[in-house]
C-alpha cells in the first residue's frame, strides 16, 4: 500500500462533501470504533461535519470503557439510520459498504476494511479493502501519519489511543500483527495515553461472558478438528460475547478451529438473527471462502471471521425451545458440510486469485 498516495486520495474524496454519516454496520468493537473516530477527526481537521452512528448497542465492558474514557461521540440508532441532513456516508471495518435506505439516497464517500475483498455493488469515492493489515485502525493510523493530522493536542492523543487499542484487539494482542500494523503502532505509541490503554486492557471478562463460555464447554460437538458450540438465545446487547467465547475456547482448547453461534434477540421483539463467530489457529484456512460459501452476509480473514443470518420471520414463534433446536441442528449440519468441503473451497479460491492475477497482467 502506498500510504502517501492513499492518504491524498482519501482527503480528496472527503473534501467533496460537507456532512458525512459514518456508519458502524456491525457490532461496535474497538477496531470499528477507533477507525470511525479517526475518520471523524480527519473530517474535523478538514472542516467537514460528521456523525458516527452505530446500528447496535455496545455490549462489552471493554468497548464501553474505550468510548467513555476517550469521549468518543458514538450515537446508537434504533432501526434503519436516517440519511437526512447528510450528503455522503462512510463504512469502515465491514466488507460491504451497502446499507439499505442509505445507499439508495447518498453516495459512499469512503469504504475501508481489512478483510479479503468481496464483491460490492456500491461505488465509493475512496475504497481500500485489503487484508494487508490486521485492522482497519492500521490504515487510518497510516493515513493520519502521512497527513500529520490531527495536530498535537487532546484530540490527537484520544485518536492515537483509540487506534492503538483497535489494532491491539483485532490482531489478538499482536499475535497476528503484520508489517503495516507494526508501522502504525510505531507512529501511535508516541501519542497514545498509556494509562488509558492499560486501564481498558485490564477490564476482566464479564459474568455473562464467563457463563456463556461455561455453556459452550458443557454443550458442544467436536467434528474432526473443529469445535462447534451453540449458546441458544442472547440479547443483542450481549452479542459480542459470542466472539469472546470463541477466542477463549480457541486459546484453551485442543481444536484447531472453533465456531460459536447463537440466536441474537433484538430489543422489544424487533427481530432475531443467527450470529456465527469463527476462530482458527490455522493461517492457511480460507475462512472467507468458507463463510462466503454459506452466506454473503459475513466474511473472514486469517484466524477469524463471522456471518449473520436474518431470522426475523421466526420472531413470533411461540416455542423458543423448538426454534432453537431447529436453528442449532441446521447450523451444525451446515458447519459440518463446510468443514468437509473446505479443500474444494480453498481450491476455488486459489483459482479465482490466479485468474485475477492473469486478468490483471493482460488487462482482461
The sheet that has 272-280: what strands, in order across it?
220-223, 226-235, 257-265, 272-280, 304-310, 298-301
Run of H or E residues at 125:
strand 124-129
Under CATH, which number does the domain 3-201 receive? 3.90.1640.10
* SS3 state of residue 156: helix
Q: Which residues contact 75 (CB under 8 A, 6 or more apart)?
A: 51, 52, 53, 54
Residues 70-85 have pLDDT tens digits of 999 999 997 788 999 9
Q: What are phi and psi of 301, to 5 degrees?
A: -145, -170
How long a stretch of residues is the chain? 364
Of residues 301, 268, 346, 292, the one with CA closest to residue 136:
301
Q: What is the CA radius of gyration of the chain?
A: 20
For residue 27, the tally of other CB atoms under 10 A from its CB is: 23
DSSP state of 116: P
Cell of 155: 484530540
Query: What grid cell was written down for 87?
Result: 450528503
The pLDDT of 84-89, averaged and rounded, is: 96
Q: Which percentage of the chain shows pLDDT scores above 70?
A: 92
| Per-residue pLDDT tens over the stretch 268-295 | 667 999 999 999 998 889 899 999 999 9
Only one residue has cell 465509493, namely 124
Reply yes or no on whether the pLDDT at 120 is more than 70: no
Q: Is the pLDDT of residue 300 over 50?
A: yes
Q: How far is CA 245 from CA 70, 209, 242, 251, 303, in A?
A: 26, 7, 5, 10, 15
115-136 average pLDDT score = 87
**207 band by pLDDT with thresholds 50, 70 and 90:** confident
Cell output for 352: 479465482
Phi/psi for 23 (5° steps) reads -95, 130
Cell output for 151: 495536530
pLDDT beyond 50 at 309: yes
Measured CA to CA, the distance from residue 350 to residue 341 in angstroms comes to 14
Q: Residue 222 is inside which H or E element, if any?
A: strand 220-223
Range scoring the smallest mean pLDDT among 144-148, 162-166, 230-234, 265-269:
265-269
The mean pLDDT value of the chain amounts to 90
Q: Do domains 3-201 and 207-347 have the same CATH topology?
A: no
CB-based contact 257:235 (threshold 8 Å): no
* Cross-strand pairs, 264: 234, 273
- Count of CB atoms situated within 10 Å of the CB of 53: 18
Residue 132: pLDDT band with limits 50, 70, 90 = very high
Q: Is the pLDDT of residue 364 over 70?
A: no
| Domain residue ranges of the chain, discontinuous segments joined by + | 3-201, 207-347
Predicted local distance difference test score (pLDDT) of residue 356? 55
CATH for 207-347? 3.10.310.40
**C-alpha span between 71 and 9 (Å, rounded):** 28
Q: Are 222 and 255 in contact (CB under 8 A)?
A: yes
pLDDT of 350 over the 60 cut: no
Counting DSSP H helices and E strands in the chain, the numbers are 12, 12
Amino acid at each position: 500500500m502506498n500510504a502517501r498516495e492513499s492518504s491524498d486520495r482519501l482527503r480528496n474524496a472527503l473534501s467533496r462533501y460537507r456532512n458525512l454519516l459514518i456508519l458502524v454496520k456491525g457490532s461496535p468493537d474497538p477496531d470499528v470504533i477507533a477507525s470511525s473516530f479517526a475518520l471523524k477527526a480527519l473530517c474535523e481537521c478538514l472542516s467537514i461535519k460528521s456523525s458516527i452512528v452505530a446500528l447496535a448497542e455496545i455490549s462489552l465492558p471493554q468497548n464501553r470503557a474505550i468510548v467513555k474514557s476517550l469521549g468518543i461521540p458514538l450515537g446508537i440508532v434504533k432501526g434503519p439510520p436516517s440519511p437526512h441532513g447528510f450528503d455522503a456516508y462512510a463504512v469502515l471495518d465491514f466488507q460491504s459498504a451497502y446499507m439499505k435506505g442509505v445507499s439508495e439516497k447518498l453516495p459512499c464517500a469512503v469504504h475501508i476494511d481489512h478483510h479479503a475483498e468481496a464483491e460490492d455493488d456500491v461505488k465509493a469515492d475512496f475504497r481500500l479493502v485489503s487484508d494487508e493489515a490486521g485492522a482497519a485502525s492500521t490504515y487510518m493510523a497510516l493515513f493520519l501519519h502521512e497527513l500529520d493530522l490531527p495536530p498535537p493536542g487532546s484530540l490527537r492523543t484520544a485518536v492515537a489511543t483509540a487506534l492503538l487499542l483497535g489494532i491491539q484487539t483485532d490482531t489478538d494482542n499482536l499475535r497476528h500483527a503484520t508489517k503495516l500494523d507494526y508501522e502504525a503502532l510505531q507512529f501511535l505509541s508516541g501519542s497514545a495515553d498509556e494509562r488509558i490503554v492499560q486501564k481498558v486492557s485490564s477490564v476482566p471478562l464479564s459474568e455473562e461472558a464467563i457463563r456463556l463460555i461455561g455453556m459452550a464447554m458443557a454443550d458442544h460437538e467436536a467434528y474432526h478438528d473443529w469445535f462447534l458450540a451453540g449458546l441458544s438465545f442472547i440479547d443483542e446487547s450481549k452479542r459480542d460475547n459470542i466472539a469472546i467465547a470463541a477466542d477463549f475456547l480457541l486459546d484453551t482448547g485442543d481444536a484447531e478451529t472453533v465456531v460459536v453461534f447463537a440466536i441474537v434477540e433484538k430489543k422489544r421483539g424487533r427481530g432475531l438473527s443467527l450470529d456465527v463467530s469463527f476462530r482458527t489457529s490455522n493461517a492457511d484456512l480460507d475462512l472467507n471462502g468458507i463463510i462466503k460459501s454459506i452466506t454473503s452476509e459475513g466474511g473472514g480473514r486469517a484466524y477469524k471471521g463471522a456471518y449473520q443470518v436474518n431470522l426475523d420471520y421466526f420472531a413470533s414463534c411461540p416455542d423458543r425451545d423448538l426454534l432453537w433446536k431447529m436453528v442449532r441442528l441446521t447450523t451444525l449440519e451446515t458447519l459440518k458440510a463446510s468443514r468437509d468441503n473446505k479443500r474444494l473451497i480453498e481450491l476455488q479460491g486459489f483459482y479465482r486469485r490466479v485468474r485475477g492475477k492473469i486478468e490483471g497482467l493482460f488487462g482482461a
